[in-house]
Structure 1
Amino acid sequence: MDLGILETGAPPADLKNRFGSYGDMFRQMLGPDYRYAYYDVRGGHLPEQADRHDAYLITGSASGVYDGDAWIEPLKQFIQQSSGRTPMVGICFGHQVMAEAYGGRVAKSPKGWGVGLHSYEIKRRADWMNSDAGLQLSIPVSHQDQIIELPVDAKVLAASEFTPYAVLEYPERRAISFQGHPEFSPEYATALIDLRRGTRYQQEFADAAASSLQKPNDAHRVAGWIRNFLGAHPPTQG
């Protein structure tokens, strides 16, 4: 399966040297069963056609979907063109920009930063989640923005008090999305927190977030879910 990774952001330079790009993180998470192609969306690069690849994954970004950056509107148009045709997975910013492209709304949350390991209650099971869905999902997060209005066809699969729309499915659009970062290793998420200490995060907040990342997380389960979802939508050609 050809998987196009739409990179809408990148780790800070020194962390990228240590941990790789966001595309690299997803490649490591999802494994060798895919042929990967990366697109620098911020640089104006998108696939020429929605069916150029068998599926797409949209990464996280430091930008907000409401920022008005020149590359965001073309990305929304590409998401709309792909809807129902090419399977799509969104992560963090990808989760948010998909919701906006499908008719929802995103804003900077008055709840502030979500950082560290967050846990969500599983509200409903999609077929690709298998019977291992359990009652809770815990994965690293790093976000201020949140979806505040759902697209009318969105199905909420997991939620918390802090993030009521944590995992979404759009069955007719062949799309799923996650507010959290299953691709972030605890080491990378901790290094990112340390980089932001004293600037974006107060020390006590940073300490608590970093400490939470020492607990077991479900990134491996989410990787399996994404693989299951992609496997349920095999290529139509080739």
Structure 2
Amino acid sequence: MARITIIETGQVPQKYRERHGSFPDMFERMVRAEDPTATIDIVSIPNGDALPDPDKVEAILITGAAAGVYDGLDWIAPLENFVRKAYANKTPMVGVCFGHQLIAQALGGTVRKSEKGWGIGRHVYRVLPENGVVDGDAVAIAASHQDQVIEPPNGALTILSSDFTPHAGLLYANGTTLSVQPHPEFDVDFARVCCELRDGKAADDLVATAKASLAEPLDNAKLGGAITRFLARRKKT
């Protein structure tokens, strides 16, 4: 039975939280869709929770956030140290969006705001054949980001890619760390909220196209299931 520690790094705006839940709520739904028996522990950085001992967690999932990993906030460096220790321990670990960028930066990659602007709505990512984690040729998942991993850490294999996001999914050299830019925890309704939040911040036609793209199906179960199974792998010694 998997025991997953979800590290909440950002919060759903209060006006949307009652209907859609927190980011850990969304991830818990994603995990339980694949493994109803999973045990979920939540550590909330915005609520002031201390990071757990990296030697005592079985699996780690780091959420998205509005912050940038390069913002110099006082909790980012300790979280990077936590990631490096968990990585050295070969503890199963997954990061999504901000979590993807944070893991990449902590392990020596480069993250910055992309000149391509906002990535919102339904994005389709090519899947690297025979990567051992995600099956099929492509996955369609909701995105909501400006920042991107520009250069992956040494030894990290890009397993999801698109023209907009060349390094959208990374499998790291230790074999027990995975990170993805898009959001398999976002249902269509919340993905639409993320588009609406860009009204006035992104071009009107981009927002309209992103909203329209969500009429097509999302492969949340496929990627979310792959992430859950990855986290349930036995810790490597």
SS of 2:5's partner is strand
Q: Quote the residue 1:202 is aligned against.
A: 203
Aligned mate of 1:63, from 62, 67, 71? 67
Question: 1:127: Cα distance to partner?
Answer: 2.1
SS of 1:115's partner is strand
RMSD between aligned alpha carbons? 1.6
Residue 44 and residue 72 in structure 1: after superposition, are their counterparts in 2 closer, same or farther (change >3 A)? Answer: farther
Q: Quote the residue 2:171 is aligned against.
A: 169
Structure 2 Cα separation of the partners of residues 103 and 46 of structure 1: 24
Structure 2 Cα separation of the partners of residues 47 and 125 of structure 1: 35
Consecutive unaligned residues in structure 2, runs of 5 or more: none
Q: Quote the residue 2:24 is aligned against.
A: 23
Q: Quote the residue 2:232 is aligned against.
A: 231
Question: Which residue identity lines up with residue 56 of structure 2 in the other structure?
Answer: R
Contact 1:124 1:158 in 2 (8 A): no
Structure 2 Cα separation of the partners of residues 128 and 84 of structure 1: 20
Q: Provide TM-score, normalisation by structure 2.
A: 0.92
Structure 1 Cα separation of the partners of residues 126 and 175 of structure 2: 24
Question: 1:43: Cα distance to partner?
Answer: 4.4
Question: 1:11: Cα distance to partner?
Answer: 1.1
- How many residue pairs match? The answer is 232
Residue 215 and residue 154 in structure 1: after superposition, are their counterparts in 2 closer, same or farther (change >3 A)? Answer: same
SS of 2:133's partner is helix
Contact 1:125 1:157 in 2 (8 A): no
Question: 1:223: Cα distance to partner?
Answer: 1.3
Contact 1:41 1:75 in 2 (8 A): no
Question: 1:45: Cα distance to partner?
Answer: 2.7
The answer to which of 148-157 and 19-28 deviates more is 148-157
Structure 2 Cα separation of the partners of residues 46 and 6 of structure 1: 10
Q: Quote the residue 1:92 is aligned against.
A: 97
Q: Quote the residue 1:8 is aligned against.
A: 9
Question: Which residue identity lines up with residue 197 of structure 2 in the other structure?
Answer: L
Question: Which residue identity lines up with residue 31 of structure 2 in the other structure?
Answer: L
SS of 1:106's partner is strand
Q: Quote the residue 2:49 is aligned against.
A: 45
SS of 1:140's partner is strand
Q: Quote the residue 2:106 is aligned against.
A: 101
SS of 1:208's partner is helix
SS of 2:223's partner is helix
Q: Quote the residue 2:128 is aligned against.
A: 123
Deviations 1:128-166 (A, max 9, x none): 33xxx2211110000000011110010111111111101
Question: Which residue identity lines up with residue 73 of structure 2 in the other structure?
Answer: D
Aligned mate of 2:161, from 148, 159, 162? 159
Structure 2 Cα separation of the partners of residues 123 and 229 of structure 1: 16
Aligned mate of 2:187, from 167, 185, 188? 185
SS of 1:127's partner is coil
Q: Quote the residue 1:141 is aligned against.
A: 143
SS of 1:172's partner is coil
Question: Which residue identity lines up with residue 185 of structure 1 in the other structure?
Answer: D
Consecutive unaligned residues in structure 1, runs of 5 or more: none
Residue 169 and residue 235 in structure 1: after superposition, are their counterparts in 2 closer, same or farther (change >3 A)? Answer: closer
SS of 1:184's partner is coil
SS of 2:179's partner is strand
Question: Which residue identity lines up with residue 117 of structure 2 in the other structure?
Answer: G
Q: Quote the residue 1:113 is aligned against.
A: 118
Bigger proportion of residues as helix? 1
Contact 2:168 2:181 in 1 (8 A): yes
Question: 1:171: Cα distance to partner?
Answer: 4.1
Question: 1:213: Cα distance to partner?
Answer: 1.0
